[in-house]
Amino acid sequence: MKQYYQIPIAECNEPLVPIPSEHFAFEIPHPYQKLGAPYHNSKADSPYYLRQGVVGSLIAAQKHLQQNHPQWKILIFDAYRPVEVQQFMVDYTFAEIARERGCTFPVSENQKQIILEYIYQFWAVPSLDRATPPPHSTGAALDITLADKNLQPIDMGSPIDEISERSYPDYFANSNQPEAKEYHLHRTILKNAMLAVGFQQHPNEWWHFCLGDQMWAWLTNQQQDNSQVIARYGRC
């Protein structure tokens, strides 16, 4: 059980709306759709949807970014993710890791639990319980990176969705290597733009940001003494 699932949700019923294409760059084709993830039963006709208020804050983050980097854009890798897609990606990641570890299929129950414990450091449990929604299934979380003036991704030192310590936001913070310093600078630029307008960053993922969901509320309460913020976005 993730700690942020202790946060209550007071659903505000704000609608899911498309992320406006004129403001951002997008990962196209969408990485999970390429794998066959089941978006066809989704309330949105693409993964590039968020709650209306989150979209407004994301546009503000883009403006903040361009104050110092006028030719850069936030690149949207993933946003709204139905629980069915969350389950699909957890299963896909499980199979990939099991193969990498040389497991025989079907995987033993002991091996299964070890792999799932590893996966759930990064991927949220695909829960159908209204009290414990995966963050992306609320329409309040998104995975992003930066793109240059040619809309090419800027090197952050590790790819989105990599399950390793390199994914931690400050992994390169104390390195003396020039390339690593660049990676950390890029991650910091992205983080600063998002936090400046109210987002919070996943502790284990440099690419994941949220606003208004349980993780956001939990992180906000950790940072502010006596704060009792609750979530306003539940599962869509």
- Give per-residue pLDDT as tens, 17-72: 999 999 999 998 899 999 999 887 666 778 999 999 999 999 999 999 999 999 99
pTM of the entire predicted model: 0.94
Specify which residues 75 forms β-bridges with. Answer: 25, 145
Q: Does the annotation mark 100 as catalytic? A: no
pLDDT at 131 over 90: yes
| pLDDT confidence band for 1 (50 / 70 / 90) | confident
**9 and 231 Cβ atoms separated by less than 8 Å:** yes
161 — alpha (psi -120 to 50), left (phi > 0) or beta? left
Separation between Cα atoms, residue 175 and residue 117, nearest integer Å = 29
Which contiguous run of DSSP H or E holds residue 219?
helix 214-223
pLDDT at 227 over 90: no
Q: What pLDDT is stored for residue 122 in this prediction?
A: 87
pLDDT at 76 over 80: yes
Q: What pLDDT is stored for residue 43 in this prediction?
A: 67
**Residue position matching structure tokens 């990064």:** 122
Q: What pLDDT is stored for residue 40 in this prediction?
A: 76
| pLDDT confidence band for 168 (50 / 70 / 90) | very high
For domain 3-82+133-223, give the fold: Muramoyl-pentapeptide Carboxypeptidase; domain 2 (3.30.1380)
Domain residues of the chain, as ranges? 3-82+133-223
Which contiguous run of DSSP H or E holds residue 76?
strand 73-78
Q: Which of 22, 84, 182, 205 is catalytic?
A: 205
Q: What pLDDT is stored for residue 41 in this prediction?
A: 67
Q: What pLDDT is stored for residue 223 in this prediction?
A: 92
CB-based contacts of 22-30 (< 8 A; 24+ apart in sequence): 23/58, 23/59, 23/62, 23/73, 23/74, 24/58, 24/62, 24/73, 24/74, 24/75, 24/76, 25/73, 25/74, 25/75, 25/76, 25/147, 25/151, 26/75, 26/76, 27/75, 27/76, 27/77, 27/78, 30/78
Whole-number mean pLDDT of the chain?
Answer: 95
User: Helix, strand or coil for residue 200?
Assistant: strand
Q: What pLDDT is stored for residue 42 in this prediction?
A: 67
Q: What pLDDT is stored for residue 225 in this prediction?
A: 82
